[in-house]
């Protein structure tokens, strides 16, 4: 079944209204926490960083993080997994809707100590339910100007780039804090099995493509757009060198986002 243009516009309007409602409701509940904790200007500046996503290839590299010295910025879903091997410097959370984020971030107090939780002002309040570590907020672009202007007026947080998914948000955070050398791990933006892509898309679609290792993988429309946005972000920061060390996936671009073995990257950039 195909939607008419009018039906499509009505559908888009309905989604926008829901997104705006969730954004305002979450911001109102988070506002006191935002005022107490402030923005990302408090985060430490970086020279090197390892950005860790929740992709399937992370299982191949996660144990190698145990003896790394470079600061780690991890997505919320794999915070526990990574913390079992090495304490991250930052964990990024993004979702405005209710997820299991409170469980993902529910770790013993000593595992939270000295770890920054980075989140947009619109993050679902469950994000902070069990968190006892440090917090830094982002007034992320992408919402109507009236909303972001209001947030700036009430909290002092400037509007800044955020990204449409948590992996990209982690990379944006690393680059915004000045990182010049960044390794990506678990940033596959695809599935090895077609049925997983169908399930993730709500049984709406699956895109069959070849990844940068020459293997057939299955991805989603949103992830193809994310690939474009990640490459453009890397091109916009010529002072930084971002290398995808994920073992497989669709994130690569000759000249702007190269791929490399994590072990080889560490020889040059992860100084013990």
Give the pLDDT confidence score for residue 271 in this predicted structure.
59
Query: In degrees to the nearest 10, what's the CA dihedral of 173, 175, 179, 180?
Result: 160
Retrieve residue 203's tokens.
């049984």
Query: How many distinct structural domains can be found in the chain?
Result: 1
Handedness of CA 189, 195, 199, 201 (dihedral sign): positive
Burial of 212: CB neighbours in 10 Å, binned 0-12, 13-18, 19+: middle
- Domain extent for 246: 5-269
Residue 223 corresponds to which tokens in the numbers above? 């992830």
Cα separation, 171 vs 167, whole angstroms: 7
Work out the number of other CB atoms within 10 angstroms of the CB of residue 113: 11
Strands of the 90-92 sheet, one edge to the other:
159-160, 134-140, 116-120, 90-92, 72-75, 48-52, 181-185, 241-244, 258-259
pLDDT score at 15: 66
Residue 164: per-residue pLDDT: 87
- Specify the pLDDT at position 162: 87
Low-confidence ranges of the chain (pLDDT < 50): 1-11
pTM (global) more than 0.85: yes
Residue 19: the pLDDT is 79
CA atoms within 13 A on the CB side of 128: 24
């Amino acid at each position: 079944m195909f939607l008419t243009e009018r039906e499509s516009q009505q559908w888009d309007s309905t989604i926008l209204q829901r997104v705006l409602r969730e954004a305002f409701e979450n911001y109102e509940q988070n506002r006191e926490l935002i005022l107490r904790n402030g923005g990302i200007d408090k985060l430490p500046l970086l020279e090197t960083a390892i950005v860790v996503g929740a992709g399937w290839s992370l299982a191949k590299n996660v144990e190698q993080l145990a003896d790394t010295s470079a600061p780690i910025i991890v997505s919320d879903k794999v915070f526990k997994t990574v913390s079992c091997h090495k304490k991250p410097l930052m964990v990024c959370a993004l979702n405005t809707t209710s997820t299991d984020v409170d469980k993902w971030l529910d770790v013993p107090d000593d595992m939270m100590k000295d770890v920054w939780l980075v989140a947009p002002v619109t993050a679902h309040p469950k994000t902070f339910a069990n968190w006892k570590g440090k917090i830094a907020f982002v007034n992320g672009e992408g919402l109507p100007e009236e909303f972001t202007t209001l947030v700036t007026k009430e909290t002092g947080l400037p509007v800044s780039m955020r990204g449409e998914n948590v992996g990209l948000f982690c990379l944006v955070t690393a680059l915004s804090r000045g990182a010049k050398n960044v390794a990506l791990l678990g940033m596959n933006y695809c599935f090895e099995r077609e049925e997983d892509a169908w399930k993730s898309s709500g049984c709406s679609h699956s895109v069959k493509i070849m990844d940068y290792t020459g293997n057939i993988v299955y991805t989603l429309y949103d992830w193809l757009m994310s690939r474009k946005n990640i490459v453009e972000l890397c091109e916009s920061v010529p002072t930084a060198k971002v290398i995808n060390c994920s073992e497989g996936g669709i994130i690569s671009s000759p000249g702007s986002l190269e791929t490399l073995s994590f072990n080889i990257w560490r020889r040059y950039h992860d100084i013990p």
